[in-house]
Amino acid sequence: MRTRKIKTVFLDRDGVINRKRPEGDYVKCWEEFEFLPQAPEALKLLKEAGLRLIIVTNQRGIARGLMTERDLEGIHRRMLAELATLQVSVDAIYYCPHEEGLCECRKPRVGLFRRAQQDFPDIDFAKSAVIGDSLKDMEAGTQLGCLTILIANGTRKERLCNESTAKGIRIDVVVSSLFEAAKLLTSFGSAR
């Protein structure tokens, strides 16, 4: 992996910051939201290093009628409030509420990232990292020229790495947790 000065970190939400629900289910209310171990500490570490933190998340549960955008916004409000108690802030959250194939914002498409760049014009994708737990996250990062960091373990890690090679998707680093990714990114030096 080549070392580069990272200034912006794009983070997937489910499976990266909070525990992912079983396949076909979604975090539909605050009571179903559970931070992954050391995720808030990882975000704090990244923020203290001067990095911009942007969450980009597919939320197909809205398109499927399992929750509303208002429900999702409530979850995000509570998540941000919990993080604030730990002196952690997130710069922005972008989400795709659509079903697959109906928009330009659903990852692996890059519409959410482009919207972030409109809101934060100094974003340079070559100085950004994408942290996610799926090939869709890695594919979006590959398209944009970002550093790609996959969170995966064991046989899942092996399967995703094999699939990525077959599909031409670049994975720069594989780690077991957001905290491990944060330690790696902060070892590159502060963004300030």
Q: Distance (Å, rounded) from C-alpha 85 to C-alpha 92?
A: 17
Residue 59: what pLDDT?
Answer: 96
Q: Residue 180 belongs to a domain with what CATH number?
A: 3.40.50.1000
**Is 3 among the domain residues?**
no
Environment class of residue 67 by beta-carbon count within 10 Å: exposed (0-12), middle (13-18) or buried (19+)? buried
**Is 151 among the domain residues?**
yes
The per-residue pLDDT for range 29-68, each reduced to its tens digit, is 999 999 999 999 999 999 999 999 999 999 999 999 999 9
**Is 191 among the domain residues?**
no
Number of domains, the chain: 1
**Is 175 among the domain residues?**
yes
**Is 54 among the domain residues?**
yes
Query: Which residues are known to be catalytic?
Result: 12, 14
**Is 2 among the domain residues?**
no
Residue 190: what pLDDT?
Answer: 47
Q: Which residues of the chain have pLDDT under 50?
A: 1-2, 190-192
**Is 148 among the domain residues?**
yes
Whether this model's pTM surpasses 0.85: yes
Placement of tokens 């959410």 in the chain? 112
Residue 3: what pLDDT?
Answer: 54
Instruction: Give the domain extent around 172.
Output: 8-186
Decide: helix, strand or coil at residue 173.
Answer: strand
Are 38 and 181 in contact by the 8 Å Cβ rule? The answer is no
Q: Distance (Å, rounded) from C-alpha 19 to C-alpha 97?
A: 19
Are 92 and 116 in contact by the 8 Å Cβ rule? The answer is yes
**Is 92 among the domain residues?**
yes
